[in-house]
Amino acid sequence: MTWLTPQEIDAIALSLRVAFWATLFSLPLAILTAHALARWRFPGRQMLNGLVHLPLILPPVVTGYILLLTFGTRGPVGAFLQDHFGIVLAFRWTGAALAAAIMAFPLMVRAIRLSLDAVDPRLEQAAGTLGASRPWIFATVTLPLMLPGIITGAILAFAKAMGEFGATITFVSNIPGQTQTLPSAIYALIQVPGGESAALRLVLISVAIAMAALLLSEWLSRKAARRVAGA
Amino acid sequence: MSLSVALRHRLPGLTLDIAFEAPPGVTTLFGRSGAGKTTVINAVAGLLRPDAGRIVSGGAVLSDSQTGIWLPPHRRRIGYVFQDARLFPHLSVRQNLTYGRWFNGGRRDADDMARILDLLGIEALLGRRPAALSGGEKQRVAIGRALLSRPRLLLLDEPMAALDEARKAEILPFIERLRDDARVPILHVSHSLSEVARLATTVIAIHDGRVVRAGPTADVLGDPEAVPTMGVRGAGALLTGRVIAHHDDGLSEIALSATRLFLPRVATAPGHTMRVRIAAQDVVLALDRPGAISALNILPATIVTLRQGQGPGVIVQLQSGQDRLLARITRRSADALGLAPGMACFGIVKSVSVAQDDIAPGPRPPRE
């Protein structure tokens, strides 16, 4: 890769790492949240629904700033994590992963919830009469049937995490090699004279990664849907 | 092994107050749609929690609102065959069949599997996906799946309602075999009198959320008081006989307790018992044995009761040997003949008026 500078390679690698961990950690939580929103009846359900969708509507800068206030080294959660576990999120790549995860979360929950709504509860009843307890019903019937939505949600979230900019730059800034993700690198390059050609290369790479993710998601979820439909 | 159900439950527009005992064999909950039948078996399966009641199956209390006992569905060991099969689309037929086994001790009983595959004729389907099955095949797999979970009771919720006539004819013999296999008592829901006549050993007739008639099938179907529940057009008594011979002209000869019956060729082999439901409106009454007449079946009988209906009709209950027969005639005819309980008469039945649907092999007595 002679035509990419080490800084550019760093940015691509960091973006992939941030998106990967953001997706991996938010997936179980998103499945749980989607299940709670679709199937459970509890006070505060609408509150939770609003909270999950908030990052979709808020300006990303606001989300980033709230993260900074909460998870910054002087923020209530940030100080707690640092004192007890030695975990620092602000201005680290882990913080970028947190910001990406929160920004991608609503997309993931929506996709998973759609697939959960399509699961016939009568099949779950049938599993119950065959001796399966609730956790087993979920593991053997509900989860496999919502697999297409989980795949779509995960890849959508991955792509969103790759491209997250506003909340990330607000929360963890734009430190080359540490918190400079692909979008931050592009932004930095177009701020300096003569950076356009380098920016264009990164733009093309961004487009390629996004397209690949989209095609992969299409292919995987079609495969999963075929399996679920039992053809 | 028997089932005892008592429950009260309020639904929008219907209040259920049901109590019945189901002895071994096939017990059919009979009634029109909306009578509350499915609510009852959902309560037995644990899919619905009734407002009050007590359900006991084979000595195990499944639910009791007085003591607060409530077993969740997965701990009841009740096999449920739904109207719409509900096979798991993401699993193969084999995986569907063995699904319940994971949760019931996981015992792998190869004999059990082989016996049930054979009983239902589904061996060839094992590698397929549910989407590739016909409606009748799906129902057979669903029955197999329920049986392989080793239930103490099998629930059949109108298993043939979603099937066309040809598929029904395909699946009925399998359910009859299941009944005669008699390892599991069956609670069956139906609104079809043909199904009742073919399958049931006990009938619980439900109307507007209440049990209006209960008892052995022949008793309930032969009871003139039950006619309004069955519907005057559908009413008809159940006769049990033994096949004597199949004749060359396409008729089968069946020995009843008092006489012989000739029916269009039946599937049951000579020497075996069979049941036939004779619709009340297909029976003609005569005081003298008619001489030259095309009808082949002339049953000597005694009038037991006459029941005046709402309209111009009268239901006459006849005793012919051990068998009960119902005849629906007009009040005008009853008056003209001067019919009264205790009178001797003849019930006349055209062979061709008996529908194939209403003829079935008789149940073997349930094993204890």
Q: What is the DSSP string of B31-51?
A: --TTSSHHHHHHHHHTSS--S
In this predicted structure, what is the pLDDT of residue B283?
92
| pLDDT confidence band for B367 (50 / 70 / 90) | very low
Name the residue of chain B whose CA is nearest to A224's CA: B90
In this predicted structure, what is the pLDDT of residue B366?
46
Tens of pLDDT along B256-271?
988 889 998 888 888 8
Tens of pLDDT along B300-312?
999 999 988 777 8
- Tell whether the model's pLDDT for residue B343 goes beyond 80: yes
Tens of pLDDT along A26-58?
999 999 999 999 988 889 889 999 999 999 999
- Tell whether the model's pLDDT for residue A1 goes beyond 50: no
Instruction: Give me chain B's average pLDDT, please.
Output: 87
Residue B255: which of B321, B328, B187 has the closest Cα? B321
Residue at A94 is within a domain? yes
- Tell whether the model's pLDDT for residue B353 goes beyond 70: yes
In this predicted structure, what is the pLDDT of residue B346?
93
| pLDDT confidence band for B1 (50 / 70 / 90) | low
In this predicted structure, what is the pLDDT of residue B43?
94
Residue at A41 is within a domain? yes
Name the residue of chain A whose CA is nearest to B144's CA: A130
Location of structure tokens 């009264």: B340
Of A119, A129, A227, which to mutate for an interface test with B (greatest number of B Cβ within 10 Å)?
A129
In this predicted structure, what is the pLDDT of residue B169?
76
**Interface residues on A facing B, Cβ-Cβ cutoff 8 A:** 120, 122-123, 125-133, 136, 140-141, 144-145, 227-231
Residue B179: which of B202, B212, B157 has the closest Cα? B202
- Tell whether the model's pLDDT for residue B365 goes beyond 60: no
In this predicted structure, what is the pLDDT of residue A125?
93
Name the residue of chain A whose CA is nearest to B147's CA: A130
Instruction: Give me chain A's average pLDDT, please.
Output: 89
Contact across the interface for A130 and B146, Cβ inside 8 Å: yes
Residue at A147 is within a domain? yes
Strand B14-22 vs strand B186-190: parallel, antiparallel, or unpaired?
unpaired
Residue type, position A13, single letter:
A
Contact across the interface for B90 and A145, Cβ inside 8 Å: yes
Show the domain range for A224: 6-230
Taking the C-alpha atoms of residue B290 and residue B357, their distance in angstroms, rounded to an integer, is 29
| CA trace torsion B41, B45, B47, B52 (10° rounding) | 70
Residue B172: which of B23, B364, B356, B42 has the closest Cα? B356
Q: What is the mean pLDDT of residues B215-231?
A: 84
Contact across the interface for B89 and A230, Cβ inside 8 Å: yes
Of B45, B90, B131, the CB nearest to A129: B45
CA B296 to chain centre: 28
Taking the C-alpha atoms of residue B221 and residue B184, their distance in angstroms, rounded to an integer, is 24
Q: What is the mean pLDDT of residues B35-58?
A: 91
**Interface residues on B facing A, Cβ-Cβ cutoff 8 A:** 45-47, 72-80, 82, 84, 86, 88-91, 99-100, 102-104, 129-132, 145-146, 149
Tens of pLDDT along A177-214?
888 889 999 998 888 888 888 889 899 999 998 888 88
CATH number, residue A216: 1.10.3720.10
Location of structure tokens 């399958």: B199
Structural domains of chain A, count:
1
Residue at A214 is within a domain? yes
Residue at A124 is within a domain? yes
Residue at A75 is within a domain? yes
In this predicted structure, what is the pLDDT of residue B198?
86
| pLDDT confidence band for B272 (50 / 70 / 90) | confident
Q: What is the mean pLDDT of residues B341-366?
A: 82
Location of structure tokens 């309560």: B43
Residue at A1 is within a domain? no
Strand pairing partners for B69?
B64
CA B231 to chain centre: 16
In this predicted structure, what is the pLDDT of residue A14?
92
Q: What is the mean pLDDT of residues B145-151?
A: 89
In this predicted structure, what is the pLDDT of residue A139?
93
Q: What is the mean pLDDT of residues B278-293?
A: 89
Distance from CA of B160 to the nearest CA of A (A): 18
Residue A14: which of A216, A222, A161 has the closest Cα? A161
Residue at A86 is within a domain? yes
Taking the C-alpha atoms of residue B35 and residue A202, their distance in angstroms, rounded to an integer, is 69
Of B82, B90, B103, the CB nearest to A126: B82
In this predicted structure, what is the pLDDT of residue B182?
66
Residue B196: which of B162, B238, B246 has the closest Cα? B238
Taking the C-alpha atoms of residue B62 and residue B40, their distance in angstroms, rounded to an integer, is 13
- Residue B297 CB coordination number (10 Å): 21
Furthest-apart CA atoms within chain B: distance in Å: 70
Q: What is the mean pLDDT of residues A91-108?
A: 92
- Tell whether the model's pLDDT for residue A2 goes beyond 60: no
Residue B27: which of B124, B168, B162, B156 has the closest Cα? B156
DSSP B284: E
Contact across the interface for B86 and A130, Cβ inside 8 Å: no
Q: Residue B167 in 3-state DSSP? A: helix
Residue B15 Ramachandran class (φ > 0 left, ψ -120 to 50 alpha, else beta): beta
Element at B117 (helix H, strand E)? helix B110-120
Q: Residue B194 in 3-state DSSP? A: helix
Taking the C-alpha atoms of residue B52 and residue B8, their distance in angstroms, rounded to an integer, is 5
| pLDDT confidence band for B108 (50 / 70 / 90) | low
| pLDDT confidence band for B229 (50 / 70 / 90) | confident
SS (H, E, C) chain A: CCCCCHHHHHHHHHHHHHHHHHHHHHHHHHHHHHHHHHHCCCCCHHHHHHHHHHHHHCCHHHHHHHHHHHHCCCCHHHHHHHHHHCCCCCCCHHHHHHHHHHHHHHHHHHHHHHHHHCCCHHHHHHHHHCCCCHHHHHHHHHHHHCHHHHHHHHHHHHHHHHHCCHHHHHHHCCCCCCCCCHHHHHHHHHHCCCCHHHHHHHHHHHHHHHHHHHHHHHHHHHHHHHHHHCC
DSSP B358: G
Phi and psi angles of residue B205, each rounded to the nearest 5 degrees, phi first: -90, 125
